[in-house]
Amino acid sequence: MKSTTRRHFLALATSTLAGAAVAGCSTGGSGNTSSGSAPSKPLPPLNESRALVTYFSVPETDDPNNMSDDEENSTHVVDGKVLGNTQHVAQIISERTGAEMFRIETAEELPLDHETLENLALEQQEANARPKLKSPIPDLEKYDTVFIGYPIWWYELPMPMHTFLEQNDFSGKNIVLFSTHGGNRLSGTVETITDKLADSNVISNALTISRDDMDDAEDEVVKWLDGLD
């Protein structure tokens, strides 16, 4: 009964927000925003050879033609190539900072049908699941600063992100967060990650960009990166 009630509540909330739950395989608010958590230490100057951009992103199609509304919501097309919204932001950060990139993927391939993916995301959240990941970061010791990007799913972190955060030792690292969303902005995720990574310096100035603002993502990212200095 608890599960049914939660599903009913979330369904109503999702309807109110015009379907902003998983459609963000990049769902999020607009622009950048700071967390309400305790101030972090300043981010030291970035050494591109010691920085890594990690991200979790699920574009619901790889075909740029004749997309459905849900597919358009989860993707951004660059030079004819379909990218997930969070993937697009990650690539901009990597290009601007010179940092290496690592894509967080589940061992089991995720469904691309929107409703099926949405239901799976909620089932995993209700079960507090820790989905297995496809591969680990090759050598986290190489990096001082780790950017971590994710969409907002059902108003929280996608459950594969919990696996990622718990499987890796981020002690002593500078952690910089970015997200994409469909109306929920950061949705408390900065506080969640800060609590999980208590031995890391989680920078409180996290970036969040709406799926509706992907055309302006580069300007938003540049402005945000400049503010991290």
pLDDT in tens, 172-190: 999 999 999 988 899 999 9
Banded pLDDT at 47 (limits 50, 70, 90): confident
Domains of the chain: 2-228 (3.40.50.360)
Q: For residue 201, what is the enclosing H or E element?
A: strand 201-202
| Closest-CA residue to 131 (of 86, 168, 162, 170) | 162
Banded pLDDT at 18 (limits 50, 70, 90): very low
The residue count for the chain: 229
Task: Find out whether 67 and 114 touch, Cβ atoms under 8 Å.
Answer: no
pLDDT of res. 51:
95
Banded pLDDT at 123 (limits 50, 70, 90): very high
AA identity, residue 56? F
pLDDT of res. 8:
43
Angle at 144 between CA 25 and CA 208, to 5 degrees: 30
Q: Considering the chain, what percentage of its residues have pLDDT values greater than 70?
A: 83
| Closest-CA residue to 149 (of 85, 225, 212) | 85
Q: Is pLDDT at 23 greater than 50 in this prediction?
A: no
Q: CB neighbours of 102 closer than 8 A, spacing ≥ 6?
A: 52, 53, 54, 55, 137, 138
Q: Is pLDDT at 52 greater than 90 in this prediction?
A: yes
pLDDT of res. 38:
54
| Closest-CA residue to 132 (of 165, 170, 105, 103) | 105
Most confident listed range (13-17, 24-28, 177-181):
177-181
Task: Find out whether 133 and 105 touch, Cβ atoms under 8 Å.
Answer: yes
Q: CB neighbours of 34 closer than 8 A, spacing ≥ 6?
A: 204, 205, 206
